[in-house]
Structure formats: structure tokens, C-alpha cells
Amino acid sequence: MEQRLVQSPQMIQAMQILQLSALDLVDRISQELLENPFLEVDESTPEEESSPPEKEADGETVALEGMIDELERYDRDFGDGSQRRISGEDVDRKLEAMANTPATYHSLGDALMGQIALSDLDEHRREIAEYLVYSLDSRGYLTDPLEAIASQSGIANVTVEELEETLSDLRHATHPALGARDLQECLLLQLEPSGVDTPLVRALVENHLADITTNRLPHIARATGHTIVEVKHAIDSIRHLDPSPGREYGESSAETIHPDILVLEIDGTFEVQLTRQGVPALTISSTYRQLLRKGGKAEGVRKWVKERLESARWLIEAIEQRQSTLLRIANVVFERQDGFLQRGVKALVPLRMLEVADETGVHISTVSRAVAGKYAQTPHGILPLRFFFSGGTAKDSGGMASQASIKQLIKELIEKEDSSAPHSDDRLADLLKASSGIGIARRTITKYRKALKIPGSSQRRVF
């Protein structure tokens, strides 16, 4: 007979809570506080908890009894409850799904629509401008031909000429390259307004963008009849142009990183702590709990009250379990990575999640959930917890070198190279073996270099 692991709602909730970052946990708690009257933020001291103010309790009782009276009327209106009702759990799921659904109305459109609203365009031109704005991609490019936009817009009697004129008006009011079809047109549209429209710069944009990307400066110099120095000056002018005109008006996709773990050096030793990041302590309202003991209420209401109370308890337990599990895992990680705390990335040791799971007594999937999306503030910067897990390579001197430490060594070798004659990947492999006793193949060097976003030797060469 096939056996399956049946996960209770409590287990599922605990796993979901464990995966949340501190900021996401704050959002989840805020949502639950709004929906569950049995939850409240515990702001009192232990002494205050034992004797809550009577006046506040009386006010809360009146408020909740009014809500329960409303629920009783609902219970009477809809009979014996045979009709399907939306439970609190269903509401939680729907609200969570809505909260995790990205908005399709991007901020680039918001910003430009605000400018259109303030313009003196007539109704027809305003409609064209709005359609053009929402045809832009996140970079501010207009990748569809104007002919296609005219036929798809549904705007009465619109012509390509009107689209061109309206797009020109938008560019004058916002960014000179807004609505460019591609990178080349985007750069060309900016040459004159930026004051860099020289024959050489224009020739590079029109004919040599691929050569610039691959650092083929000698080839460009021969093809254009200019010196390498002149070509370099022209390329510098191009690099000051904006490749994404929509970026000025859209929201930055980069999110501020807030660490969940703090690693502090105190009196010469390192201490691991959880950062609260505004995570409030929760408690169950004693006032609302007393209502469960009251008699004379409709059975449907009593069931609702009991479900909300149990939901509050499960949430508090899940949060406590998250904090305890995350702290235990972080303590093991940084005990193993003490060398990193002392000396930096080069001292990282190989560490696998299975090792941490064995030491903390949890399943490996629990470790994976606990570290997902979490960051630690360390003496060497804020880093994702997953950064501290990697395989390793044997060293000639014994022991193992982690992938992260090898990447750091490769980065340092490249930083010290002669920029006029940069190291090939084969040469980097030889240098790594000679300097650190780490023997890895050229293809592995290439893989690590690309992971570090470092270009190949031909692109690193400075002429």
C-alpha cells in the first residue's frame, strides 16, 4: 500500500511562515491582525499582562459583542448554514494570493499618464498618447511598428502620421529617446540633444555597437580611419547616453535588502542574533477569548469564534517555531564559517545543507526553506544565507576550498593583472594552482568567471 505524508493545515502554515523573510513576515502579521480579532500586538511587560486595564477591556467587549450580534443576524438570515460560506481560511488564501500578485499597471505608465493629464492635448490626441504610453515596454521602448499600433489601437480614424507627431510631443515633454524601437535608435535619438553628435560617434552607433561590446577597438580604428584614443573618447560619449529611457520614470526593480540575521562581534567573539525588523510580538486577546465561554450564542457564531481563536494560536506558534529554527540554523552555519567571519570570503569552507540539517536535527527541506530569501549582516557585508552553502575542491596542502573562496581568488588574480595583457582562463588556472594549490579545469575557471560577471580576456584588454 502506498504511504503518503499528510500535511495538516498547521504544518503547511508553519512551512509558509518559515520561508518568509522578516519584511514579508511583517506584512503577513499585519494582514492577520486586520482579519483576526483574537490577535493583538503584545506591547505590555509581564507585569502588565497579568492585570489588563479594565476600561479598555470593557470597550473591546462592547465592540466585539456588536460584531457577534451582526454575525447572529447573518446566521438567522441564511438558515442552518447549509449554503456555502467563505471561511476565514479561504479569505486568508485569497488575500495572500492577491498580495503576491504583481500589478500589471507599471509605474512608467503611471508617471507618463500624469504628464498627459496635465497637457493641453485635445481628446483625440490624448487618447493616442495614452495608447502609446501603454504600448511601451519597461525600458521605454516601442517595439511594435507604428502601422501595427494604428491598426490595433481601436482609436477612430487614427493615422500613422498622428502617432508619429504624438510620439514626438511625448519625447519633447519627457525623454528624447522615449518610444525607440531598439538600442541603436535609442542612442541615435539622444546624440543631438546630448551635444555629442559628431561623425565618429554617429558612425560607431550606426555600424559598430557589436564591436564596442566585444572591445574590438583596433578594428573600429581601422574601419573609421581614427586613432584608438579618438575611438575611446567617442565610446565614452556613448556610455553617457541612457539605454533605458523608461528607467527615469519607472520604479527601480532593485529592492532594499533587509537582513534577517545579525552577526555581531562582541568582546572578541561572534554572536548570532535575529533582527526584529519591526516584527511585533503577538498575543491572544484575553477579552475576546472570554467570549468563547459565553453561552446563548448561535452555534454558527460559536464555531466562527473557535476557529479564529485556533487560527491565532497556530500563527503565534508558527512564528515562534520560525524564529527558533532560523536562529538554530544560523548558529550552526556561522560556527562552521568562523574563518569567513575572521578573514573574509577566501576563508569560506565547503558546507552542505545536509550537514546543517543533521546538526540541528531538522529535515534538509526545512534548512532549504529557512535560508531561502534570507540575508545575514556580517562583518564583510550583507550576504544571502545561501552564499554560505557550497561544494568544494581539494587543495594540494590538504583540506578543501569552497566555490565561493575560489571565485574570490580568481577575482583577485584578475584585479592584479596587467590590463594591457589580461590573463586567459588557461593562465588563470595555472596561477590558481601555483598560488593556492587549487587545481581546477579551464572550463571551471570560465564558469566561475562568468558567474562573477567578469568578461573574457579579449574584452578586458585596455588599449
Q: Quick: pLDDT tens for 76-122.
A: 443 343 333 334 444 344 333 333 333 333 456 656 766 666 667 78
Q: What is the pLDDT of residue 271?
A: 94
Domain spanning 261-280+319-388, CATH class: mainly alpha
Q: What is the pLDDT of residue 113?
A: 66
Q: What is the pLDDT of residue 205?
A: 95
- CA neighbours closer than 13 Å in the CB half-sphere of residue 88: 19
Q: What is the pLDDT of residue 106?
A: 43
Which of these, 369, 377, 398, 392, lies nearest to 448 by C-alpha position?
392
Query: What's the rounded Cα separation, in Å, for the pair 299 and 428?
Result: 75
Query: What's the rounded Cα separation, in Å, for the pair 321 and 343?
Result: 33
Supply the pTM of this predicted model: 0.51
Round to the nearest angstrom and report the end-to-end CA distance of the chain.
71
Q: What is the pLDDT of residue 164?
A: 93
Q: What is the pLDDT of residue 9?
A: 72
438: Cβ–Cβ under 8 A, 6 or more apart, which residues?
393, 395, 396, 401, 406, 409, 432
Q: What is the pLDDT of residue 65?
A: 47
- CATH architecture, range 392-460: Orthogonal Bundle (1.10)
Query: What's the rounded Cα separation, in Å, for the pair 38 and 53?
Result: 17
The residues of the chain scoring below 50 in pLDDT are 1-6, 45-106, 252-254, 295-296
Q: What is the pLDDT of residue 236?
A: 93
SS (H, E, C) the chain: CCCCCCCCHHHHHHHHHHHCCHHHHHHHHHHHHHHCCCEEECCCCHHHHHCCCHHHHHHHHHHHHHHHHHHHHHHHHCCCCCCCCCCHHHHHHHHHHHHCCCCCCCHHHHHHHHHHHCCCCCHHHHHHHHHHHCCCCCCCCCCCCHHHHHHHCCCCCCCHHHHHHHHHHHHHHCCCCCCCCCHHHHHHHHHHHHCCCCHHHHHHHHHCHHHHHCCCHHHHHHHHCCCHHHHHHHHHHHHCCCCCHHHHCCCCCCCCCCCCEEEEEECCEEEEEECCCCCCCEEECHHHHHHCCCCCCCHHHHHHHHHHHHHHHHHHHHHHHHHHHHHHHHHHHHHHCHHHHHHCHHHCCCECHHHHHHHHCCCHHHHHHHHCCCEEEECCEEEEHHHHCECEEEECCCCEEEHHHHHHHHHHHHHCCCCCCCCCHHHHHHHHHHHHCECCCHHHHHHHHHHCCCCCHHHHCCC
Q: What is the pLDDT of residue 232?
A: 93
